[in-house]
Structure 1
């Protein structure tokens, strides 16, 4: 990790400020004044569909963000990625005063709601708003922008050097991943701290601090057997059949894989005389009869881990289970490169401690560490090996990734205040 982590660790023993500085108080007031503009921008962003596969829609949201960032002094570049069959990424940079720390701010332009989704529009009811991506991650980008505008007004924006990477395919990463995430990874290697503006998690009514995110690894398992009349199953010539072999393997996963911080799931399974997935591997077809021994079965699933070592260990165990074939069968498992883990580190904890100093100075409750089992994978994990960071700086929302996704609008202002003060302090190295 960068030497900056050691500075942060040392700073955790310092007493909290009695109150925000005058510049910080100006930033807090600016966030409050900015909320009508921020919420109006959120509505416009949500009403522009940007499902991952809607390339034109993602590009349009990128242009909308460019229009917000350039007036703040950012140099904005659009990085198209046709080779990954995705829209691309927006990358924005702004140099601060000499000697300031480089902060990497991470968010994403796309949502899970494609152009053919029935869930397409923003609707506000009091202090909540519903719409596609209203929390994940259009609400997060609004928090980021509100914090940066407040820093500009307060005169603290020059206290940090910024690089912003807003990916266009966070919800469905392009392939190959090494190209799809090359710019983000490079930005992480330049940064002193990474801050991710995906959503805040609350637990028992408390805002939580996210210092870790688990990986997301997908797998596809195919089993085969010797077909024939069902009366011949289990004999020496026909063996157990493909579906029984699939059942053996999945049952062994359930009993032999469990360990701390690991989850694993089978999401789609088909089997019979014939069985196959569609090109996107999200739908399956099969044919068969009760009196025919199934020749093939195929399943897709995922597993999530908290470290690279755990990922390697679980993969090896899955491969060994698959290799112990039942009589007369064969099986093969393939793994897709997915999201790496963001392991909890001392440096990440030090950044959360700095955020909790901000919370105390704002009169807000301390944010405990969130159990990484309580949230999914995210883009910050791609830089976690190179730079310490913190996730969950976006707003609080519920029902993400499903029709009815709803954001708590007051949380936008709270998170923007936290971010504005934290970013200025981190940028100064304090």
Structure 2
């Protein structure tokens, strides 16, 4: 396909929209072939070789585009990729795309196959978020074919540890965010066409309690059971739930003791917290420290470890303005989208914390992610790819040439 610069169009946006629509229609089979290939590679967060294999497939898919590639060697997790367009960044900054190559399904999972029926595609990570990766890849391939990537300052960051908190890649994402005018994250969209304009923050913690081991048959009223002390703390932690304020506290797993006839020397709980306001995180940490310090069973001791966390992504004026811009483009394309505030977290939280307007949920639509029933609505893949491509084209400066499909 070549650019035909001899034609004049009264509405160049509509002409570009139709060209993108036609391009994606012609490459629909290629999109689903790539999706199948990505889904059939196990890329659990702890499977570095699998994540890196996904990265190589993506690099091959984008090799013919106007993009450079940096591969960031990382151990023990998959290597992040950073694709860049040749266009220098403007005063306002680049456009940032973010996606992740890892899934929650580890190398020993039985859930590893891709399949389709008339309306849905199924497989590990099909919507979280290998479908989003395909949308990003083909949006860039379309714009490269149209010659627009040379006029769009853009960085596409793909990391391999998102499902475990992006502990090793968050610094990279923050650096790229600070160079950006806006950002789009390719997590799956909502079943009713939702696009994410805000997210809660989260905090993951480990609470470990030490007691004194003993035989249950000889235990007296002064027994120092780690399990009993942990039980007191669990009730105090669950009391932190404040649903009206959007604060959620959950004790997810509990382990302790070695048998029913022993006094537990050790017990542990894994905790998860969700919150809306940045100051809620500080209040939660303060209260958790107080709960940890308050010993109810004489002789016991407790230790709190913050494992990971993400700051909240507030529904800001800049996020709303970015959504309004995408909503206008979606209306022009005949695609229905709606704003959503989502309780789950993503790499968009780090971008928002850097003060950059960001939208999430730009990927295809599906549900039941993180389960063996994960699926993607097939028609949403070309539709969301079209929306992303048209949105990125909207950021290209100057009058846009219209490619000729002939």
TM-score band, normalised by shorter chain: 0.7 to 0.9
Question: Counterpart in 2 of 1:23?
Answer: 16
**How far off its partner does 1:427 sit?**
4.3
Q: Partners of 1:18 and 1:316 in 2: how far apart?
A: 57
Question: Counterpart in 2 of 1:354?
Answer: 325
Question: Counterpart in 2 of 1:150?
Answer: 142
**How far off its partner does 1:354 sit?**
0.8
Question: Counterpart in 1 of 2:227?
Answer: 243
Q: Partners of 1:77 and 1:97 in 2: how far apart?
A: 16
Within the alignment, does 1:134 sit opposite 2:134 as a pair? no
Over 3 Å counting, the alpha-carbon distance change for 1:28 and 1:158 in structure 2 is: farther
Q: Is the 8 A contact 1:211 1:349 kept in 2?
A: yes
**How far off its partner does 1:314 sit?**
1.0
Question: Counterpart in 2 of 1:297?
Answer: 267
The partner residue of 1:87 within 64, 75, 78 is 78
> What is the total number of aligned residue pairs between the two structures?
386
Unpaired segments of 5 or more residues in structure 1? 1-16, 273-285
Question: Counterpart in 1 of 2:115?
Answer: 123
Question: Counterpart in 2 of 1:281?
Answer: none
TM-score scaled by length of structure 1:
0.83
Report the 3-state secondary structure (helix = DSSP H, G, I; strand = E; otherwise coil) of the residue aligned with 1:87: coil
Question: Counterpart in 2 of 1:11?
Answer: none
TM-score scaled by length of structure 2:
0.87
Q: Partners of 1:68 and 1:59 in 2: how far apart?
A: 14
Q: Partners of 1:220 and 1:428 in 2: how far apart?
A: 49
Q: Is the 8 A contact 2:228 2:297 kept in 1?
A: no
Unpaired segments of 5 or more residues in structure 2? 1-9, 400-406
Q: Partners of 2:29 and 2:255 in 1: how far apart?
A: 50
**How far off its partner does 1:19 sit?**
9.7
Q: CA RMSD in A?
A: 2.6
The C-alpha deviation readout for 1:95-140, integer Å capped at 9, x for no partner, is: 3378485111001112222222111121111221111111111110
**How far off its partner does 1:155 sit?**
4.3
- After superposition, residues 69-84 of structure 1 pair within 5 angstroms as 69-82=62-75
Question: Counterpart in 2 of 1:413?
Answer: 382
Over 3 Å counting, the alpha-carbon distance change for 1:429 and 1:117 in structure 2 is: farther
The partner residue of 2:284 within 303, 310, 314 is 314
Question: Counterpart in 1 of 2:239?
Answer: 255
The C-alpha deviation readout for 1:56-88, integer Å capped at 9, x for no partner, is: 221121111111223111001211112xx1121
- After superposition, residues 24-423 of structure 1 pair within 5 angstroms as 24-82=17-75, 85-96=76-87, 99=90, 102-173=94-165, 177=167, 179-202=168-191, 206-227=192-213, 235=221, 237-238=222-223, 241-259=225-243, 260-272=245-257, 286-289=258-261, 292-328=262-298, 329-365=300-336, 367-373=337-343, 376-386=344-354, 387-423=356-392
**How far off its partner does 1:197 sit?**
0.6
Q: Is the 8 A contact 2:185 2:360 kept in 1?
A: yes
Q: Partners of 1:121 and 1:231 in 2: how far apart?
A: 52
